[in-house]
């Protein structure tokens, strides 16, 4: 998310799925698009039918590769090198879309003298502090004149211009280096680079699609940054058939980031107040988080409207709109660090809602062992799973586990109404199809009643610390007497509150531009504003696909029902489409407004000729030719001077557990990644002869998790955990197709059925032959029809510094024919003493 966010201004995918059909070329890398997103993939097939070239770069030849025009194998974890190679190729051969880059990016900005690149520091940037493992990002700042305006060189010739820095930074990423690092044959790499260049520019566009194949790495955010830089250089952002399609995961994962389940965000991507920053009062918070220029100058409006939605009449200017009721961060409270804290006894209670970390989690045994230390555990789920049943897993003794477990049955999606926000940022309402089975209730029911009862319990309290509970508005009772009788809240009312309303007369606001920062409007999530513009309208219900292919009357895409973000960039600086073939949004001189097939992502009547006022605040700072309105400067950031902790420009680092030394820099892996060096989280050493094979994890079409494992029709299609192994490795290890193999890491063992296939192929990396083993992550061993050991048993926790995402795509392992030992025998932290092989220590909490 920050990969795209820092580059373009918003964390969301820059395009929407059906627009892929307009692409002339689609690069799918870091995603198994066809298998994990089969329905969306129809638009890739449509593009192919129209003559587009489909490229798939993946460690494995998958069902996506099968229909791609070009497939290239890659060693897992080396995409920065691969894409960096293409960046080098387009820069060195002058294949960039120069007019676009000059007008819409910070290529001309001059980087300060303090900046030192990885090129000079062999893998590190300037400002690195070895002790704190962090960067002083002030060394990455742009050079400014006396008035504070950033210096630029429109000719891009200045040696410290971003363009020249980029050129030098990526110069080492030659085709030979790509082959040496990624194992991708040079000819195939060059073919892809040429194809991308050929299909970009004024007349043609290329789209990129990725998913967790790029994110689940200790440098995951930088993988996406590399793609963002390349797509920007090729002039593909904001244009039809271009952009970067970040494919989201579970059905509502986009919605769960927008109105977030994340610990560090408030709805609409407002940061969660932090005790570690200067944010103790509302003023301080707004000062820290409001950007002087660009759209985020509106932060106070959105924050105050949000507080009004939270606390209603109790939010007044006098009490900072209840700002102090919000909790403040005191560290990394994301899931994985919390799990360690739980294991170490620092967490007493745990809610798990709609997740099965006992199978899908990294270091799954750590997760389950951590739950043994809890006083109580609440699971809201539709099925029995490996998490709620942790106390009866193989090797556990229920008599010795004191955790009190509450299982609350959840209604499934068909048994409740609400919205889902899919990968195109599209909100779609769905009705309830059937009544919940048995005693199950919707998730909203549970939270409605948790809050109602908690409020009841505190009703008489006068203690100021209980005010957040008492002052929270809570009026979601259903209008339908039938639903009300069952205690179901109205999720439509929740959506209406998210849309926002005028406090005085409770009329809905028409969109976020109507919000005010004076407490006269309330809005629960500004980015969705406009979805319920009046009391009777719910645009998430719209189902009219007629007219333009953008189908603006089908659902509601945030923000403001836009499909393609930054679509101002589909026109040239003067407002005319770059080409007739690729016209999308343009300036209508006669009407004096932006028009096109989509909702313009630009102030509607701001003419292209509008000059920038470099001393103004807010949007006036941008000219009529600055398409990236969310960004401070209005342009795409090729170089990110602030906002990312680990690098202003992506550099190839090896994964924490790698089978080779970094071929490009002396710095082996991301210096800022977070590790937990302790016995119950044992890592394989880098380049460890005991664990000579690369292991990667992924999903298969037939399986998702518990929900599919319980369905016999799906279970019969992929009935058990398996491991994909190349024939050469199988022969050398005496592994027979279809039979059991055991895969091991320092952390543990798992068994799976061998699927020996030429789709896995050994690669030559840095002169060494590398075998990769692929294991689907979808299995768990305790319940349902489709079963098998979870690959989470093998994966120690290490995370990316920006978003705390785990590295589960690139690991090392060993493999042998035959079945595993009983779990407790194979497990390192129970019986095997720490030895030199594993990088272990004592608990750190």
Partner 1 sequence: MPNLPPNPDDALMGAASRNGRTEAVVPTYYERPMLKAPHWEWNVVTYLFLGGVMGGLGLIQLLAHPERDDERRLKRTARYTAFILAAANPAILITHLGKPERFLNMMRIVKIKSPMSLGVWGLVFYSGAAGANVVRELAVDGVLPRWMRFVAPGFMAPAQALLGAFTAGYTGVLLSATANPFWGSGKRHIPAASVCSGLASASALASLLSTLEGNHAAVHKLERLEMVAGAAELLVLNDFKRASGEYGKPFFEGKRGERLRTYTVLAGTLAPMALNALGQMVKLPKPIDAVRTTVASVLTLVGGYILRDSLIEAGKASARDPKAAFRQPR
Partner 2 sequence: MATGFFTDTTLCIGCKACEVACKQWNELPSDGFEFTGNSYDNTSELSGTTWRHVAFVEQMSVDPEGGLHDRWLMSSDVCKHCTNAGCLEACPTGAIIRNEFGAVFIQPDVCNGCGYCVVSCPFGVVDLIEKFDPEGTHYNLASLSESRLDSKQTAVQQSGGVAGKCTLCYDRQKVGFVPACAKACPTESIQFGDLDELRARAKARVETLTERGVEATLYGADDVGGGIGSLNAFFLLTDRPETYNLPAQPVLPSTRQPAGYTAAAVAAVGLALAGWMIFRNA
Ligand X SMILES: Nc1nc2c(c(=O)[nH]1)N[C@H]1C(S)=C(S)[C@@H](COP(=O)(O)OP(=O)(O)OC[C@H]3O[C@@H](n4cnc5c(=O)[nH]c(N)nc54)[C@H](O)[C@@H]3O)O[C@H]1N2
Using CB under 6 A, list all residues that contact ligand SF4: 38-39, 251
We find the least distance from the C-beta atom of residue 743 to partner 2, in angstroms, to be 16
Does 605 participate in binding partner 1 (rule CB under 8 A)?
A: no
**C-alpha torsion 703→705→709→713, nearest 10:** -40
Q: State which of residues 520, 595, 737, 844 lies at the interface with partner 1 (CB under 8 A).
A: 737
Q: State which of residues 717, 783, 817, 832 lies at the interface with partner 2 (CB under 8 A).
A: 717
Does 711 participate in binding partner 2 (rule CB under 8 A)?
A: yes
| Helix (H) or strand (E) run with residue 573 in it | none
Q: Is residue 810 a contact partner of residue 381, using CB atoms and an 8 Å limit?
A: no
CA–CA separation, 27 and 82 (whole Å): 12
* Cβ proximity to ligand SF4, 255 vs 655, nearer residue: 255
We find the least distance from the C-beta atom of residue 85 to partner 2, in angstroms, to be 17
Token output for 488? 């179901």
We find the least distance from the C-beta atom of residue 700 to ligand X, in angstroms, to be 6
Does 762 participate in binding partner 1 (rule CB under 8 A)?
A: no
Q: Report the partner that residue 724 touches, choosing among ligand X, ligand SF4, Mo ion, none (CB closer than 5 to 8 A by kind).
A: none
Q: Is residue 286 a contact partner of residue 307, using CB atoms and an 8 Å limit?
A: no
Does 366 participate in binding partner 1 (rule CB under 8 A)?
A: no
Q: Report the partner that residue 35 touches, choosing among partner 2, partner 1, Mo ion, none (CB closer than 5 to 8 A by kind).
A: partner 2
We find the least distance from the C-beta atom of residue 20 to ligand SF4, in angstroms, to be 15
CA–CA separation, 241 and 206 (whole Å): 6
Token output for 209? 């699609």
We find the least distance from the C-beta atom of residue 30 to ligand SF4, in angstroms, to be 18
Does 78 participate in binding partner 2 (rule CB under 8 A)?
A: no
We find the least distance from the C-beta atom of residue 805 to ligand SF4, in angstroms, to be 21
* Cβ proximity to ligand SF4, 38 vs 345, nearer residue: 38
* Cβ proximity to ligand SF4, 38 vs 547, nearer residue: 38
**Contact partners, residue 469, CB within 8 Å, separation at least 6:** 454, 455, 458, 461
Q: Report the partner that residue 521 touches, choosing among ligand X, partner 1, Mo ion, none (CB closer than 5 to 8 A by kind).
A: none
Does 32 participate in binding partner 2 (rule CB under 8 A)?
A: no
Would strands 772-776 and 426-430 be described as parallel, antiparallel, or unpaired?
unpaired
Q: Report the partner that residue 249 touches, choosing among partner 1, Mo ion, ligand SF4, none (CB closer than 5 to 8 A by kind).
A: Mo ion
In SS3 terms, 338-374 reads as HHHHHHCCCCCEEEEECCCHHHHCCCHHHHHHHHHCC
Q: Is residue 105 a contact partner of residue 640, using CB atoms and an 8 Å limit?
A: no
We find the least distance from the C-beta atom of residue 21 to ligand X, in angstroms, to be 19
Q: Report the partner that residue 76 touches, choosing among ligand SF4, Mo ion, ligand X, none (CB closer than 5 to 8 A by kind).
A: ligand X
Q: Is residue 114 a contact partner of residue 139, using CB atoms and an 8 Å limit?
A: yes
Does 736 participate in binding partner 1 (rule CB under 8 A)?
A: yes
* Cβ proximity to ligand X, 364 vs 374, nearer residue: 364
Residues near partner 2 (CB under 8 A), total: 52
Q: Report the partner that residue 251 touches, choosing among partner 1, partner 2, ligand SF4, none (CB closer than 5 to 8 A by kind).
A: ligand SF4
* Cβ proximity to partner 2, 65 vs 838, nearer residue: 65
Does 438 participate in binding partner 1 (rule CB under 8 A)?
A: no
Exposed/middle/buried for 504, CB within 10 Å: 0-12, 13-18, 19+? exposed
| Helix (H) or strand (E) run with residue 696 in it | strand 693-698
CA–CA separation, 709 and 508 (whole Å): 43
| Helix (H) or strand (E) run with residue 8 in it | helix 2-8
CA–CA separation, 512 and 556 (whole Å): 14
Q: State which of residues 464, 481, 611, 758 lies at the interface with partner 1 (CB under 8 A).
A: 758
Does 714 participate in binding partner 2 (rule CB under 8 A)?
A: yes
* Cβ proximity to ligand SF4, 597 vs 703, nearer residue: 703
Exposed/middle/buried for 98, CB within 10 Å: 0-12, 13-18, 19+? middle
Q: Report the partner that residue 757 touches, choosing among ligand X, partner 1, ligand SF4, none (CB closer than 5 to 8 A by kind).
A: partner 1
* Cβ proximity to ligand X, 106 vs 810, nearer residue: 810
* Cβ proximity to ligand SF4, 55 vs 420, nearer residue: 420
- How wide is the angle at C-alpha 642 spanned by C-alphas 636 and 647, nearest 5°? 95
Does 249 participate in binding Mo ion (rule CB under 5 A)?
A: yes
Site residues (vs ligand X, CB under 6 A): 29-33, 36-37, 57-60, 62, 74, 76-77, 79, 211-213, 216, 247, 249-250, 353-357, 360, 380-383, 385, 410, 412-413, 443, 696-699, 701, 703-707, 774, 777-778, 791-792, 795, 808-810
Residues, the chain: 845
Token output for 183? 């194992």
Q: Report the partner that residue 547 touches, choosing among partner 1, partner 2, ligand X, none (CB closer than 5 to 8 A by kind).
A: none
**Which residue shows structure tokens 């194809």?**
195
In SS3 terms, 720-788 reads as ECEEEECHHHHHHHCCCCCCEEEEECCCCEEEEEEEECCCCCCEEECCEEECEEEEECCCCCCCCCCEC
Q: Is residue 454 a contact partner of residue 469, using CB atoms and an 8 Å limit?
A: yes
Residue 278 CB neighbour total at 10 angstroms:
11
Q: Kindly identify the residues of this chain, within the stretch 781-800, that bind partner 2 according to CB under 8 A.
A: 785-786
DSSP 602-624: S-TT--TTPPP-TT--BGGGS-T
The residues pairing with 428 across neighbouring beta strands, listed in sequence order, are: 420
Q: Kindly identify the residues of this chain, within the stretch 742-771, that bind partner 2 according to CB under 8 A.
A: 753-759, 761-764
The residues pairing with 419 across neighbouring beta strands, listed in sequence order, are: 429
CA–CA separation, 16 and 243 (whole Å): 9
CA–CA separation, 647 and 600 (whole Å): 32
Q: Which stretch binds partner 2 (CB under 8 A): 173-181, 182-190, 357-365, 459-467?
A: 182-190
Token output for 15? 């395009």
Q: Report the partner that residue 45 touches, choosing among ligand SF4, partner 2, Mo ion, none (CB closer than 5 to 8 A by kind).
A: partner 2
Q: Report the partner that residue 174 touches, choosing among partner 2, partner 1, ligand SF4, none (CB closer than 5 to 8 A by kind).
A: none
Token output for 781? 């061993």
* Cβ proximity to ligand X, 320 vs 443, nearer residue: 443
* Cβ proximity to ligand X, 36 vs 427, nearer residue: 36
CA–CA separation, 103 and 151 (whole Å): 15
Q: Which stretch binds partner 2 (CB under 8 A): 449-457, 491-499, 522-530, 719-727?
A: 719-727
* Cβ proximity to partner 2, 261 vs 766, nearer residue: 766
**Contact partners, residue 16, CB within 8 Å, separation at least 6:** 424, 425, 426, 557, 563, 564
Q: Report the partner that residue 763 touches, choosing among Mo ion, ligand SF4, partner 2, none (CB closer than 5 to 8 A by kind).
A: partner 2
Does 753 participate in binding partner 1 (rule CB under 8 A)?
A: no
**Contact partners, residue 42, CB within 8 Å, separation at least 6:** none
Does 2 participate in binding Mo ion (rule CB under 5 A)?
A: no
Residues engaged in binding Mo ion (CB under 5 A): 249
Residues engaged in binding partner 2 (CB under 8 A): 34-35, 38-39, 41-42, 45, 61, 63-67, 70-73, 185, 187-188, 700-702, 711-720, 722, 727-728, 737-739, 753-759, 761-764, 785-786
């Amino acid at each position: 998310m920050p990969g795209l966010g820092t580059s373009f201004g918003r964390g969301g995918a820059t395009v929407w799925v059906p627009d892929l059909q307009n692409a002339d070329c689609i690069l799918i890398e870091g995603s198994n698009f066809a298998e994990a997103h089969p329905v969306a993939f129809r638009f890739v097939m449509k593009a192919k039918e129209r003559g587009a070239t489909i490229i798939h770069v993946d460690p494995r030849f998958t069902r996506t590769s099968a229909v791609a025009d070009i497939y290239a194998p890659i060693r897992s974890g080396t995409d920065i090198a691969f894409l960096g190679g293409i960046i080098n190729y387009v820069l060195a051969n002058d294949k960039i879309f120069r007019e676009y880059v000059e007008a819409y990016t910070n290529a001309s900005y001059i980087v300060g003298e303090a900046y030192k690149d990885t090129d000079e520091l062999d893998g590190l940037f300037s400002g690195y502090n070895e002790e704190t493992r962090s960067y002083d990002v002030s060394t990455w700042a742009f050079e400014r004149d006396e008035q504070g305006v950033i210096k630029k060189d429109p000719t891009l010739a200045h040696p410290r211009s971003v363009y020249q820095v980029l050129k030098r930074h990526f110069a080492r990423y030659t085709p030979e280096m790509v082959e040496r690092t990624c194992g991708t044959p040079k000819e195939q790499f060059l073919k892809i680079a040429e194809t991308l260049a050929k299909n970009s520019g004024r007349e043609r566009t290329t789209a990129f699609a990725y998913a967790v194949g790029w994110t689940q790495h200790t440098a995951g955010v930088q993988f996406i940054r590399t793609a963002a830089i390349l797509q920007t250089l090729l002039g593909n952002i904001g244009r039809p058939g271009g952009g970067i399609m970040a494919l989201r995961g579970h059905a509502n994962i986009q919605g769960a980031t927008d109105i977030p389940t994340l610990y560090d965000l408030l709805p609409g991507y407002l940061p969660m107040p932090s005790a570690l920053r200067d944010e103790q009062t509302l003023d301080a918070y707004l000062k820290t988080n409001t950007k002087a220029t660009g759209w985020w100058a509106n932060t106070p409006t959105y924050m105050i409207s949000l507080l009004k939605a939270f606390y209603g009449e109790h939010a007044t200017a006098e009490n900072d709109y209840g700002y102090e009721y919000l909790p403040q961060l005191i560290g990394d409270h994301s899931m994985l660090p919390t799990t360690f804290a739980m294991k170490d006894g620092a967490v007493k209670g745990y809610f798990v809602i709609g997740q099965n970390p006992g199978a899908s989690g990294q270091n799954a045994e750590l997760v389950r062992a951590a739950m043994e230390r809890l006083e109580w555990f609440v699971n809201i789920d539709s099925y029995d799973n490996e998490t709620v049943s942790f106390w009866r897993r193989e090797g556990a003794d229920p008599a010795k586990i004191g955790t009190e477990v509450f299982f609350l049955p959840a209604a499934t999606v068909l048994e409740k109404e609400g919205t889902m926000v899919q990968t195109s940022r599209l909100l779609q309402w769905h009705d309830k199809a059937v009544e919940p089975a048995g005693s199950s209730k919707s998730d909203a029911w549970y939270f409605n009643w948790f809050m109602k009862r908690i409020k009841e319990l505190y009703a008489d309290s006068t203690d100021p610390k209980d005010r957040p509970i008492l002052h929270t508005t809570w009026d979601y009772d259903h209008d339908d007497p039938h639903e009300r009788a069952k205690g179901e809240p109205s999720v439509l009312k929740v959506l209406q509150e998210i849309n926002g309303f005028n406090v005085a007369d409770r009329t809905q606001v028409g969109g976020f531009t109507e919000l005010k920062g004076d407490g006269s409007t309330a809005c629960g999530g500004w980015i969705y504003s406009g979805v319920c513009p009046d009391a009777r309208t719910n645009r998430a219900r719209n189902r009219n696909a007629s007219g333009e292919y953008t189908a603006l009357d089908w659902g509601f895409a945030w923000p403001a029902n836009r499909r393609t973000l930054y679509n101002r960039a589909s026109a040239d600086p003067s407002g005319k489409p770059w080409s007739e073939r690729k016209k999308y949004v343009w300036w209508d001189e006669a009407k004096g407004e932006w028009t096109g097939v989509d909702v313009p992502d630009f102030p509607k009547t701001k003419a292209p000729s509008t000059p920038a006022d470099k001393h103004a605040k807010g949007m006036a700072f941008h000219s009529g030719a600055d398409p990236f309105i969310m960004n401070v400067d209005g342009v795409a950031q090729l170089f990110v001077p602030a906002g990312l902790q680990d690098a202003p420009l992506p550099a190839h680092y090896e994964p924490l557990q790698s089978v080779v030394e970094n071929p490009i820099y002396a710095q082996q892996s991301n210096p800022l990644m977070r590790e937990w060096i302790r016995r119950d989280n044992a890592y394989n050493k880098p380049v460890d002869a005991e664990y000579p094979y690369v292991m990667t994890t992924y999903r298969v079409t037939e399986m998702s998790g518990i929900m599919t494992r319980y369905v016999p029709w799906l279970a019969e299609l992929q009935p058990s955990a398996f491991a994909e192994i190349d024939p050469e490795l199988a022969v050398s290890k005496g592994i027979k197709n279809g039979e059991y193999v055991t895969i091991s890491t320092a952390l543990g063992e798992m068994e799976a059925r061998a699927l020996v296939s030429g789709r896995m192929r050994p690669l030559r990396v840095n002169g060494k032959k590398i075998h990769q083993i692929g294991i689907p992550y979808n299995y768990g061993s305790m319940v349902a029809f489709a079963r098998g050991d979870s690959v989470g048993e093998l994966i120690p926790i290490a995370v990316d510094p920006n978003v705390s995402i785990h590295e589960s795509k690139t690991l090392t392992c060993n493999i042998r024919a035959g079945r595993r030992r009983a779990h407790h025998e194979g497990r390192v932290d129970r019986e095997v003493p720490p030895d030199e092989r594993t990088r272990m220590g004592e608990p750190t909490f």
